[in-house]
Chain A
């Protein structure tokens, strides 16, 4: 029988807030030798925010996994400290206040999701609505007037003074759609068609959804120049397809299709090819200094991690400003300089733990839709960390994505807090003890028709 472990959760949440406050003080000391003036308000603010999240969770999802919220708080808080620290260097675009505001909204979104969505299985009924909403969100930036192109990628929608990145929300909607669709169709998808070499090929008409998603992913890639999102969605779909059908052939076909599509895109579109060349020869002078698709940013990120070494320079004592957009896509590299290899390992470990808690929820879930949704959401989180961290550390070609909960950016924070709310909701359902049988109260009459 699982315990609620609410006390442990509260203690860990407090610990996460204390770690973040210490990091904030350390950054201030590193920058100008004094504890930042706003430290207390800032710390109390974050503490109050997380206490509110905790209370909502305790009331509306008392059986939820006790680790998820403290872990997310820690990453979100460290992201805030890094953005505060980068803001102090004067790098344009970094604003800790804005990020704190978005964090607060993220917590509101988290609470609202938990309060409104009492049973996540309600989402199963919205499968096609979610699918349609996801596609619509993905395509929104392409519309005239409201679509905006920032830093070469047309993935933004401007509403008044705000820029929203709808693909962040689309990603959740599409995972809900995938889960609903695959649960409904998994039996037909698992049917084998022809056998080619050692692989059982699926039936041609079942290939439909894969081909459509593949086409949409590449369409996004092409039209919005958003390599990261297309890779993210496509990978998530393949993983969920595999979970639903247990067929390795889908994974292979999916991978081949994506690689084929990417190679084709690489030949047709210069920015795809540039990213690939930059990955292979990042350090060469020619790549570093070329005007188009320069590896300057990537190399500066690597220099930062290398200069941080094992222990890092300490918060506030590195040079994050050397990396363009260090508060956004490259926040991982900037963190590496100041917290060193040690800090990065800890950070990756925290991400891995969040993913592990999510996957645990999937294992414990009682119905296929919950399993698929929890598995899909956990995978997409891991996959996103892999794509962006792998990209900035030159493990794979660089594609722009936010580092979940760390990078500056409101849309991503809101969407990811929503994702966490869904995981928390499902873990509550999975861990809640099933209704007790009432055998002891005497004989139960068994009715048979």
Chain B
């Protein structure tokens, strides 16, 4: 009977071999597909098994996002955002199936999966402790951020505020209005979160989830005259603020039968100094000098301010663009920040910051430093120069012009006591009959700049007579005041 027994033994071992081969196929080959199958809830639970790092501001003094140990086995650590709306767009949210803002961009540090944390992970694995992520400290100035949010929300309009440290590029304020409460989006329940998210997403008019500071571009209006002026001054070293430019009441545009007027048809006297044309924000002189210089020079100057450079701060930034070369008439409009000239509020803050920093634009960044769960430093952002937009001399001329705008021109509302403020207003026409966008860019103190701001209020010029100076400049005033600690 031994020979059939042998065959049966072989059959038994073939069965075991088949089982082992199949288990290997499942556990090694198909594992990834099975692990990531949307019907497999484990990746969902795993998100909550990690004691994610905290997100803070002001060197850890203000907590923006924290993990709370619920003691629940399935969803042990839940995310809370104590500061809520003002910080929502920057901090983002940690949802069951996705994450946004810093929660997303620095996710690998926060959940500890970053290669820099591999040693710590190994220690946690061996000691059997729940896995802890690294903490992310942001460059935001919490006080200025809250002031900016409150002021902007009080206008009842949509808009954004960005404040930078001109010397480092650190983002001190980044606010977008309307905002949302991130807490309901971080609940460990897919259905609840999806419902809350879809509700926010369905508001196509206000788009509360959109970070207007970096996510969308708008016509910058007269604030762009700063870039045009920079190009004009850089084009010829002999020019300065007193150089006389043509300032007709209306400028006929080549190859068209229309002419470009000044704001509200005001007169700038036929000829004016660059300083006075900039101060009262005449349109015709800037259109005229741009047409004389040509598209390429304006484009080149714009690029030196970072316009068109892809940016990750580490949140992705929509590219700003002055638009294509479409002839002189179009260039005239581009020079005064109209037509297809489209900028993010962050980009305009970078223009102000570049001038403030003696012509050098610093790369903007949101993350101050990353510390391990034990407080040990893992990474600190070193300020990086992005480009030299203008020479220090030209920066000084531009600063003089901007100071004059706040002292004697359209930007008086931004003035601070005992501090020299430099700024520029902007009112961008959108469509005929529609309210214009209100802009204000500024920096202070002019002698030793510590903060550069861009304020943008969407359709902010209700009634068509308010300029950027009326609605946007006061917000910049408050933000600068908050940063300077006055």
Which residue of chain B has the shortest Cβ distance to A314 in the bound complex?
A: B128
**A348 close to B (CB within 8 Å):** yes
In the assembled complex, the Cα of A288 lies from the Cα of B7 at a distance in Å of 39
B35, A371: Cβ atoms closer than 8 Å: no
B12 and A33 within 8 A (CB): no
A309 to B41, CA, bound (A): 16
Q: Answer yes or no: B123 CB below 8 A from chain A CBs.
A: no
Among A72-80, A139-147, A300-308, the stretch in contact with B: A300-308
B1 within 8 A of A: yes
Query: In residues 1-48 of chain B, which contact A (Cβ within 8 Å)?
Result: 1-5, 7-9, 11-13, 15-16, 18-20, 22-24, 26-28, 30-35, 37, 39-42, 45
User: Is B61's CB within 8 Å of the partner chain A?
Assistant: no
Instruction: Determine if A341 is an interface residue (Cβ-Cβ < 8 Å).
Output: yes
Interface residues in A, total, Cβ within 8 A: 52
Chain A contacts of B26 at CB under 8 A?
302, 305-306, 336, 341, 393
User: A319, B5: Cβ atoms under 8 Å?
Assistant: no
Q: Which B residues lie within 8 Å of A352 (CB)? A: 12-13, 16
Q: A390 contacts which of B5, B22, B27, B42 (Cβ < 8 Å)?
A: B22
- Say whether A348 contacts B8, CB under 8 Å: no
List the B side residues contacting A379 at CB < 8 Å: 8, 11-12
Residues from chain B with Cβ under 8 Å of A267 in the complex: none
A contacts with B: majority SS? helix
Proximity bits, B359-397, A CB within 8 Å = 1, else 0: 000000000000000000000000000000000000000
| B73 part of interface (Cβ distance < 8 Å) | yes
Q: What B residues does A378 contact at CB under 8 A?
A: 12
Chain B residues whose C-beta falls within 8 Å of the C-beta of A29 in the assembled complex: 128
Residue from A30, A33, A319, A341 within 8 A of B42 (CB atoms): A319
Let me know if A419 is at the binding interface, CB within 8 A: no
What's the Cα separation between A362 and B6 when bound, in Å?
10
Contacts A372-B1, A378-B12 given: A348-B27 contact, CB under 8 Å?
no
B128 touches A33 (CB 8 A): yes
Q: Could you tell me the distance in whole angstroms from the C-beta of B71 to the nearest C-beta in chain A?
A: 10
How long is the Cα–Cα vector from A382 to B5 in the complex, in angstroms?
14
* Per-position 1/0 for A290-323, Cβ under 8 A of B: 0000000001101101111110000000110010
- Contact call B8/A344, Cβ cutoff below 8 A: no
Q: A348-B23, A362-B5 are in contact. Are A303 and B34 (CB under 8 A)?
A: yes
Is A348 a contact of B19 with CB atoms below 8 Å? yes
Asked if A368 is an interface residue, CB under 8 A from chain B, the answer is yes
Residues of B within 8 A of A336 (CB): 23, 26-27
> Which of chain A's residues have a CB closer than 8 A to the CB of B129?
33
Flag whether A105 is at the interface (Cβ < 8 A): no
> Closest CB-CB distance, A26 to chain B, in whole Å?
9
How big is chain B's contact interface, by range?
35 or more
Q: Are A307 and B20 in contact (CB under 8 A)?
A: no
Per-residue B-contact encoding for A369-406, CB less than 8 Å = 1, 0 else: 00110010011001101100110011100000000000
| Residues in B neighbouring A244, C-beta threshold 8 A | 1, 4
A345 interfacial contact with B, CB 8 Å: yes
- In the complex, the answer to whether A308 meets B27 with C-beta atoms within 8 Å is yes
Query: Whole-angstrom distance from the CB of B17 to the nearest CB of chain A?
Result: 9
Q: Is the CB of A382 within 8 A of B42?
A: no
Residues of B within 8 A of A375 (CB): 1, 5, 8
In the bound complex, do residue A306 and residue B34 qualify as a contact, i.e. CB atoms below 8 Å apart?
yes
Q: What is the chain B residue whose CB lies nearest that of A31?
A: B73
A299–B39 touching, CB < 8 Å = yes
Q: Across the interface, which residues of A come within 8 angstroms of B8, CB to CB?
A: 239, 242-243, 359, 375, 379
Interface mask (A201-237 → B, CB under 8 Å = 1, otherwise 0): 0000000000000000000000000000000000000
Roughly how many angstroms separate A345 CA and B16 CA in the complex, as a whole number?
Answer: 10
A29, B129: Cα distance in complex, Å: 9
Residues of A within 8 A of B4 (CB): 242-246
Tell me if A131 counts as interface (CB < 8 A to partner B): no
In whole Å, how far is B375's beta carbon from the nearest beta carbon of chain A? 23
Known: A363-B2, A363-B5, A395-B19. A306 touches B31 (CB 8 A): yes
A-B pair count, CB < 8 Å, reads 140
**Partner of B12 from A245, A308, A309, A382 at Cβ < 8 Å:** A382
In the assembled complex, which residues on chain B have CB atoms less than 8 Å from the CB atom of A389?
A: 19, 23
Tell which of A239, A299, A305 touches B27, judged by Cβ atoms closer than 8 Å: A305
Q: Does A113 contact B (CB under 8 A)?
A: no
A351 contacts B by Cβ under 8 Å: yes
**CA distance in complex: A39, B59 (Å):** 47
CA distance A395 to B24 in the complex (A): 12
Establish whether residues B34 and A307, one from each chain, have CB atoms under 8 Å apart when the complex forms: yes
- Min CB–CB distance A222 → chain B (angstroms): 26
Task: Verify A305–B34 contact, CB threshold 8 A.
Answer: yes
B33 cross-chain contacts in A, Cβ below 8 A: 306
> How distant is the Cα of A357 from the Cα of B24 in the complex, in angstroms?
25
A309 x B18 contact (CB < 8 A): no
Given A310-B28, A319-B42, CB of A393 within 8 Å of CB of B35: no
| Cβ-based interface call for A340 (8 A) | yes
Closest residue of chain A to B7 (Cβ to Cβ) is: A242
Nearest CB of chain A from residue B84's CB, rounded to whole Å: 32
Min Cβ gap B360→A in Å is 50
**Cβ contact within 8 Å between B1 and A359:** no
Q: Are B27 and A309 within 8 A (Cβ)? A: yes
A424 at the A/B interface (Cβ < 8 Å)? no
Q: What string of 1s and 0s marks CB contacts (under 8 Å) between A79-101 and chain B?
A: 00000000001000000000000
Tell me if A355 is interfacial: C-beta within 8 Å of chain B: yes
B20 and A310 within 8 A (CB): no
Task: Compute how far the CA of A149 lies from the CA of B174 in the bound complex, rounded to whole angstroms.
Answer: 65
**In the bound complex, how far is the Cα of B20 from the Cα of A390, in angstroms?**
10
B128 touches A340 (CB 8 A): no
Question: A393 vs B42: C-alpha distance in the bound complex, in angstroms?
Answer: 19
Residues of A close to B45: CB separation below 8 A? 319
Is there an interface contact between A345 and B12, defined as CB atoms closer than 8 Å? Answer: no
Q: Out of B11, B35, B39, B42, which one reaches A288, CB within 8 Å? A: B39
Alpha-carbon gap, A121 to B32, bound state (A): 53
Tell me how far the C-beta of A351 lies from the nearest C-beta in chain B, rounded to whole angstroms. Answer: 7
Report A334 CB to chain B, min CB distance, Å: 13
- Which one of B23, B39, B74 contacts A344 once the chains associate, using CB atoms below 8 Å? B23
Instruction: Give, as a whole number of angstroms, the nearest-CB distance from B95 to chain A.
Output: 20
CA distance A299 to B24 in the complex (A): 17
Cβ of B7: which chain A residues have Cβ within 8 Å of it? 242
A359-B5, A395-B19 known; A302+B34 contact, CB < 8 A: yes
Interface residue ranges of A319-354 to B (CB < 8 Å):
319, 322, 336, 340-341, 344-345, 348, 351-352
Shortest C-beta distance, B226 to chain A (Å), equals 56
Across the two chains, which residue of chain A brings its CB closest to B13? A352
Chain B contacts for A33, CB-based, 8 A: 128-129
Selected from A309, A356, A390, the residue in CB contact (under 8 A) with B19 is A390
Q: Closest residue of chain B to A372, judged by CB? A: B1
Q: Which 3 A-B pairs have the closest CB atoms?
A: A306-B34, A341-B27, A303-B40
Task: Return 12 A-B CB contacts under 8 Å, by A number.
Answer: A242-B4, A243-B8, A244-B1, A244-B4, A305-B27, A306-B30, A307-B34, A308-B27, A348-B19, A382-B15, A393-B23, A394-B22
8 additional contacts (CB under 8 A) given A306-B30, A371-B5: A348-B20, A348-B23, A352-B13, A359-B12, A372-B1, A385-B16, A386-B19, A390-B19
List A residues at the B interface (Cβ < 8 Å): 29-30, 33, 89, 239, 242-246, 288, 299-300, 302-303, 305-310, 318-319, 322, 336, 340-341, 344-345, 348, 351-352, 355-356, 359, 362-363, 368, 371-372, 375, 378-379, 382-383, 385-386, 389-390, 393-395
A-binding residues in B (CB < 8 A): 1-5, 7-9, 11-13, 15-16, 18-20, 22-24, 26-28, 30-35, 37, 39-42, 45, 73-74, 128-129
